[in-house]
């Protein structure tokens, strides 16, 4: 991509400001984590504390957002909007 040797700025959580910065080219991309991850983690912790067996690995969905899909992700009915 012609970026070898150049710093690349990325974010995590897909905050509105980061998505807007992807639009203007200041940030290369972000990873949008899903809020449900917190609930799943708490549920698993409670299960563990109750003596239940829990999986050793729990994979959660994470969406990689770059300039190629930022508008699509912003328009999926999330709480942010294109400014």
| Res. 5: pLDDT tops 60 | yes
Q: Name 51's Cβ contacts closer than 8 Å, sequence gap at least 6.
A: none
Would you state the pLDDT for residue 16? 83
3-state secondary structure of 16: helix
Would you state the pLDDT for residue 1? 61
Q: What is the C-alpha to C-alpha distance for residues 39 and 23, in angstroms, rounded to an integer?
A: 31
Structure token pair of residue 20:
């807007």
Q: Give the rounded percent of residues in the chain with a pLDDT score beyond 90.
A: 29
Would you state the pLDDT for residue 13? 75
Q: What is the pTM of this model?
A: 0.64
Q: How many helices (H) and strands (E) does the chain have?
A: 3, 3
User: Which tens digits make up the pLDDT trace of 45-70?
Assistant: 999 999 999 999 888 888 889 999 99
Helical (H) or strand (E) element with 74: helix 70-74
């Amino acid at each position: 991509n012609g970026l070898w040797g150049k710093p690349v700025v990325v974010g995590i959580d897909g905050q509105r400001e980061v998505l807007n910065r992807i639009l203007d080219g200041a940030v290369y991309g972000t990873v949008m984590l899903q809020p449900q991850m917190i609930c799943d983690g708490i549920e698993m912790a409670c299960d563990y504390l109750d003596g239940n067996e829990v999986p050793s690995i729990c994979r959660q969905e994470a969406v990689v957002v770059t300039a190629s899909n930022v508008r699509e992700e912003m328009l999926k009915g999330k709480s942010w909007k294109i400014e």
